[in-house]
Structure formats: structure tokens, C-alpha cells
Structure 1
Amino acid sequence: MANLGNLPMVATTSSFAAIAMILLVSCLCGTDAQIGVCYGQFGDNLPSTQDVVKLYQSNNIKAMRIYGPNQAILQALQDSGIKTILDVPNDQIQSLASDQSAAMQWIKSNVVPFASSIKYIAVGNEIHPSYDQQASSVQPAMKNVLNALNANNLGDQIRVSISIDTTLLKNTSPPSNGQFDEKYTSYINPIIDFLTSNGSPLLVNVYPYFAYIHDKQNIPLGFALFTATKTVVTDNNLNYNNLFDAIVDSVYAALGKAGAPDMEIVVSETGWPSAGGDSASTDNAMTYYRNLIEHVSQGTPLKGGKAIETYLFAMFDENEKTEDETERHYGLFTPNQQPKYGQLNFS
């Protein structure tokens, strides 16, 4: 998730979506509303990888995101029926960008033996050109990774993308005003061109929680939790009663202005913490997850009926995370594999 420090506030009721797009951290989307769950591992009390895969299977969770090529996890996923977003860790991007042979070896070691369970490769997570030195290497790394996939006859099976947060956007009030900040066009435009040329989706991390806690005066809790009973934002005859849709449609609007109006969006992270901060509670988190799962099959007002492939963050509470306290309380399950919110219908 992105650092939210020193981001601008918007203080008018008409600009809920703008707040969301500025503040948020961080498809082959298909026609189904595939619900996946991110599998983070910053904990010293987590189950074995084999038990984790069994837990996914027993809960009918058919998609997973992992944040690096963990061989034990990839091996356990074989023949599991679970498809995976596999991240290239941020600290490996520059080496893959500068050396095609390094990308070839990365794919040979981490993808080829496990290709049947890998759906997307995310080349980086929430890279920001203002402060991440890897930014200029992202698109070259994506090209080298795709070249390596093609060399192994996997380019049509596995899509190459990147997972961004929404701090790259501006002017997002209302959602149709969404656009990528001009300061970042030299970074994001080549990535969008690459995705367009190769039929890949853009992966986006979407967090209504952060927008809400930074402007509770103007954002109703129900708008963030999918419980609003009436329209909160109207935009070109489109009515928004939840913040998630407003965020996603702002990204769609930005893609349209960048020349990619038909690009798919995969929500590669979204969640609500159950403890550790303002409005972080079990009740709020349960409400968010339950309503989100029921909602994503409907699409957004801009893309009505187009199901949104969505990955919930995260499978477990992770007690070794070092960021804000809320980061340790996003788990859908406790480390002893008990559901925190009862039986969620992941299918």
C-alpha cells in the first residue's frame, strides 16, 4: 500500500471521488466476477504453504496474489485449481530491465515450471516516479519479461502488467474528470501503450478506507462501505452510491484520456482493516468485504454489467508488518485459519 503522507485534501461534498483518487493507496478481466485473495507472508505465525492452499480450496477461493516468486507457494499451487498474480518484486525490476538474459532466467526459474497456475505477472507494485528509482525501468522490464514469456510459448497464456495506486491521478471530481497527472505521463504512457499492444489489463490497488478516514466530514461511512441508501455522487447522468465504483470509474476515465478507453481494470488489492486505526473495526471490515463481494459482479456505473476481477487484501493478519498499525489487521482469516468474518461467499 502507498504512503499517504502530505497528500492534498478536498473539502467539498461534490468531490468524494476526487478525494478517493488522490488519497488512495494502493483483465483479461473476463465475464465472471472472479474474487481472489492476496497472500502476504509478513508474519511469524502463519500456516504452512500447503495448509494455506488447502484453506483457499476449502473456501472456494480460486485466485491468489503473491508478492514474489516463492518456490514453495508456487509448487503447492500446482494442480490446485488456483490461478495466481505473481509479482516481480520492486527490487528486482532494474536487473530485469537492463538484461534480457536476466529476465529469461527469471521466467525460466519462476514461471515455466508453474505456468499452468499463473495468470498475470505484475512487474512491480505501487511504483511512483516521484520517489522510486525503479520507475524508469518498469516498462523496459515489462518488455523483457514478455519477450521471455514469448520465448517459452507463454506470451498468449500469461499477461504482463503492473499494479499501480491511484496517487498517479488528478482532477478526479467527478469520476469522469479522472486523468493521469501530467507530471507522470512519461512514466505511465509507455506502460499504457505496452498494455494496449499486448491486450493486458491494468492492475489497480483500490482502498476506499483511506479516502474515508482522511475526510470523514465529507465522505459518509455508508458511501465507503456500500451501505448508502441513495445516490451520493451524480456524474453525467451516472449515479454513484459507493466509493469503490467512483474510484474505479475515475481510473477508467483516465485511461480513456490516455488513449486506452477499452483497457480492462483488475482490482489487484482492496480491503478494510479490522483494528489498529480510525474506523478500523471488525464490523466495518465485515460489512465492506461482504458487500464488495456481492457487488463486483454488477460492474460500475460507467461499465455496467462488466464484472470486476477483484483481489481482497489479505488472507491473514501479518504481525511483522512495519507500517501503520492497521497494516497488521487486514486478514480475512486469523493465523490459526479461523474466518474472522464468518463464511464469506468467495464464489
Structure 2
Amino acid sequence: MLSTIKKLQADILYSGVVYGTSGNNTPDAAAAITVCRKHGIRRIRILDTDELAIQSLKSMGIEATVGVKDEDLPVLASSYEAVKSWFEANLKPYVPFEFVVNYIVVGNQFIPGPNGKYVLPVVKNLQRVLADNKLSQIKVATLVSTAVLRAVFPPSKAAFSAKAEGDLIPLLQHLQATVTHTHRSYWNMFDALVDAFVWAMEKRELIVKMVIGETGWPSTGNGQTTTPELARTYNQNFLRHITAGQSPILIEVCPCYFFADGLICQDFATFSAHKAVYWDNGLGYWNMFDALVDAFVWAMEKRELIVKMVIGETGWPSTGNGQTTTPELARTYNQNFLRHITAGQCTPKRPNTYGEGFVYSMFDENGKLEAGDQGVGIFDANEKPVYHLYFLYPKSASN
């Protein structure tokens, strides 16, 4: 089923594609960038800093998330100088003037595992290198899957697994503490009140880490100053505010596996339900995607962590596993995912926050071992769409 991928207008662009290279007939990076340009896809996640990909991105108007090669991490973890050399060789000649880099991903599902110990040292040194080059707007992250959780359903029961905690918790604590401030003027009273404490401590030559022990807004009790709408607005904007400058954690979220195993119904798997299918702690879930994302939220809350999340990859194979992997199911899931994250809905536990995400993958990954992981391409080897899909781009972008 071949069709044209069409372009829609939206106020914010947060969707993109993953360019994987596990196929034996995958078009090269230059072709992938051209396909993105042709079909209005303005964000791409590249798993490394392939020279052809980097050169192809120049002046194309496509924002990139790039990765550090997994095999390079042990060497890069050894020193700041090693990371500095990597940056100077791979990215410094091009950013920010040739193209935009949003994120640098350090380790693709390295945690849990024996190599997870390399992630945090590389993240820290890469952040330092970016700061030294006045490029702190580029955020450094890693990608993890639900393998870091010892339970995923119901979401409120989720917690980080023992095998992941040793490397993951220190990383999340670091990401939570790393905030880049972009202005010094006050846009809200919250910042002014926090800085009142900072100024008071500085006058006594004190520097002490502060944690927001509590904040909030009542929904009743004092007339028009305490309404549910004001309470929702303040509390939601507070959550956005404290994660705004953070480096995120990228997560892999794949409801298709749960559907293939017969654990959930098709409508719940593909964002097609017309009402809440599952309730957990008073929160109604209309789709499995939200439930899986909230599993990460619950797991972090149990460790007193609030870290921004980006959907590093999600998708649905169009072939490989019988009736659970058809072009129609793949189109339905991926299209509904794109609509979901750009609608500002996010999840029941984290509502009304804009999402970011990447569809996996541009082309088939027939080099993967699992059959269900192979037919994931939204384009075929001839660079033609496998099924009808709409991507979103900003109103300010050219047609």
C-alpha cells in the first residue's frame, strides 16, 4: 500500500523519525535526509555522527538528534579530553551555524547492563564541553527502555529494577540537577521567591542546595482567586518550569509488543479507544502508550525525581508477525502517536505538557534478530512510503 506522506501545519514541531542502519539495503544517510526534506519531516534522530549524515544535514533546515557510537563510550568515559576531541572532530565544525542539534544521546539502551557505568561520566564531560563552547542549549541524554523497570502495569506499581538502579538513579539525579537558565529577568513570582532565599544566603556567604518541599494553589476557599482552573494552570506550569532547562531522559515505548503477546486489545494499543479502558489510582487510561510513559513517571516519583522525558523511539511494524503487524495497524498507531504528542495532551499523570517523539524507523531494520522488529520502516528501500502518514511542521516553516 503506497501513498504520499502529506504535511500538516501545527504551532509546534516535536515529531520526527529515527534513521536506523540495521537493514542490509537501507538507503544511505544522504538519501534519508533528502526523504525527510521531501516529505516535510523536520526532525531526525541519527544513531551516530556518521560523516555523510552530518554533511547532508548542512543548510537543510532539519533539526537533528545525534548519538555517540556505543563502542566509543568506554574510551570517552576515561577523560574530559577524550570527549572534547570527539566533539571537535564530529560536531564543532557544524553547530550551530550549519544545522541545529537538539540532543546528543549517550548510550542506546546501555542501562541496564555492564556498560551502563560509562554513561554518566560521558554525559557530564559532554555537558562541560558544550558549556565551554557556549552550546548549552544542546542537551545531553541517554535512551532507556522498559527494561529498566521491574513492573510496568499498572503504572502506579512501576519501579526501577535492581539491575538498573546502580547506574540509572545517579544519572537521573544528575539530569534533574542540571538546569540551563536562559534569562535573568523575572517572568514569574515563583523564581523571585526562590531567589529571595538565594540572595539571603549569599549575604551570609552561604551556598546550599534547595529543594522545593511544597508549592501549590488551592482550587476553592477564596472566591475567584482559588478556582480549579487557576490551580491547574499554576501547578501544571510549575511542573513545566522546573524541567524546562533539564537534559531529558529518552525512553523507548512500544505498545505493539504487549498487543502481539495478547495482553491488551487493539483499540487500547493503537490510541483508538473512545473511553478509558483501564483505571489506576483514579487516572483513566485510553491507550497503552500513556500507561507505559506514566510507568516511568511513577518509578521516578518513588525516587523523588522529576526529569523531562522525550520519546526516543516508538513505532509499529507493518510486517513480520502475522495479523498483529500490518500496514494498517502500523499507520493507525504511528499517526495517532503523532497526533497525540503534538496535541499537548501528554499522559493522565502529566497532562497538558507538550511532548516530543520519534517514530521508529525510517526504513526496515531487516538486520534485527526479532521478526517483529524488522518491518518497521515507514519508507521502503526505494524511498517510497509504505503507508499514508502525516507529519506536522510549524506555521513559520516554508511549504
Given the alignment of the two structures, is residue 345 of structure 1 paired with residue 325 of structure 2, yes or no? no
String of CA shifts for 1:181-219, please: whole Å, max 9, x gaps. Answer: 2343221111001211222111001111112222x1x41
Aligned residue for 1:120, secondary structure, equals strand
2:144 aligns with 164
2:165 aligns with 185
Q: 2:335·2:389 contact (CA, 8 Å) conserved in 1? A: no
Q: 2:277·2:286 contact (CA, 8 Å) conserved in 1? A: yes
Given the alignment of the two structures, is residue 209 of structure 1 paired with residue 256 of structure 2, yes or no? yes
2:328 aligns with 283
2:299 aligns with 254
Q: 1:48 to 1:170 in 2, by over 3 A?
A: closer
2:312 aligns with 268
Aligned residue for 1:275, secondary structure, equals coil
Distance in 2 separating the partners of 1:328 and 1:172: 24
Given the alignment of the two structures, is residue 120 of structure 1 paired with residue 103 of structure 2, yes or no? yes
1:231 aligns with 276
Q: How much does 1:48 deviate?
A: 4.2
1:93 aligns with 73
Q: 1:326 to 1:184 in 2, by over 3 A?
A: closer
TM-score, structure 1 normalization: 0.84
Distance in 2 separating the partners of 1:40 and 1:171: 28
Q: How much does 1:112 deviate?
A: 1.0
Give the RMSD, CA atoms, in angstroms. 1.7
Amino acid at match of 2:337: L
Amino acid at match of 2:326: S
Distance in 1 separating the partners of 2:389 and 2:161: 41
Aligned residue for 1:86, secondary structure, equals strand
Q: What pairs with 1:59-78 in structure 2 (closer than 5 Å)?
A: 59-78=39-58
Q: What pairs with 1:261-340 in structure 2 (closer than 5 Å)?
A: 261=306, 263-278=307-322, 279-296=324-341, 297=343, 298-319=345-366, 321-340=367-386
Q: How much does 1:295 deviate?
A: 1.4
Aligned residue for 1:119, secondary structure, equals strand
Q: 1:43 to 1:133 in 2, by over 3 A?
A: same
Distance in 2 separating the partners of 1:112 and 1:223: 44
Q: How much does 1:91 deviate?
A: 1.3
Q: 2:15·2:391 contact (CA, 8 Å) conserved in 1? A: no
TM-score, structure 2 normalization: 0.74
Find 2:114's aligned residue among 121, 133, 137. 133
String of CA shifts for 1:151-207, please: whole Å, max 9, x gaps. Answer: 2222x2211110001111124432123221234322111100121122211100111
Q: 2:22·2:368 contact (CA, 8 Å) conserved in 1? A: no
Q: How much does 1:238 deviate?
A: 1.3
Q: How much does 1:329 deviate?
A: 0.8
Distance in 2 separating the partners of 1:98 and 1:140: 8
Amino acid at match of 2:303: A
Given the alignment of the two structures, is residue 148 of structure 1 paired with residue 129 of structure 2, yes or no? yes
Distance in 2 separating the partners of 1:133 and 1:182: 13
Q: 1:96·1:145 contact (CA, 8 Å) conserved in 2? A: no
Identity of aligned residues (%): 32
Q: Which runs of 5+ in 1 are unaligned?
A: 1-30
Q: 2:146·2:152 contact (CA, 8 Å) conserved in 1? A: no
Distance in 2 separating the partners of 1:188 and 1:163: 11
Aligned residue for 1:115, secondary structure, equals coil
Distance in 2 separating the partners of 1:121 and 1:45: 26
Amino acid at match of 1:64: I
Q: How much does 1:58 deviate?
A: 2.0
Aligned residues: 310
Q: 2:83·2:129 contact (CA, 8 Å) conserved in 1? A: yes
Aligned residue for 1:104, secondary structure, equals helix
Aligned residue for 1:150, secondary structure, equals helix
Amino acid at match of 1:313: Y
1:13 aligns with none
Amino acid at match of 1:257: K
